Structure 1
């Protein structure tokens, strides 16, 4: 079908060619819709964590590909490093949040936020965690 359209190149055939190509492309690779869940960015997340996670994934792929013990040890080192960095950042963030508290009301607001019980302006509880 496309060969016939390409053999005669006129302005009228251009529309026909476009339609024929669209039909063939839709047949070979149909358009699919995807649902993407929006996730809130963690306030303690940093470029250091992002880089450490990238190195961890890289080490894990190498270990899974080679199955060597040395690559597994490298992966576990990177895994433990990511876990310790994330834990330290979370601790620092929450300590800083709690140090700024001057009243019981603020304390309850901060702890509600930490545990995912934020109260929205319409007074309905939020369904997302931290």
Structure 2
């Protein structure tokens, strides 16, 4: 089973690595947490915060704290089908780094987001 080109087994390995550093974060065991993540990210790149119940949202905040997911805040003028102000994305970049031997589970550097925006053409920022 693939999540954005990451197998269930690979995700389990990474969660084991991350959770040994942060043992008090989750009520679920590693296999249950892996399945929880797969349930949300198997067929989509992001998860709308409004689809989450309070227990699921709490788990997403904890996953954000350990760096496995990240939240994206949309401004009021951002076009969105459902006007959701927050979405969650799986940090596949971090998961791959951890699989390749990195032992750090750190936050994305701010310049990752700056690079993303600076790579867009200038006409993207113009209003029609």
Q: Normalising by structure 2, what TM-score?
A: 0.22
Of structures 1 and 2, the larger Rg is shown by 1
Structure number with greater CO (CA < 8 Å, separation at least 6) is 2
Taking structure 1 as the reference length, what is the TM-score of the superposition? 0.21
More helix by share: 1
Pick the structure with more strand per residue.
Answer: 2
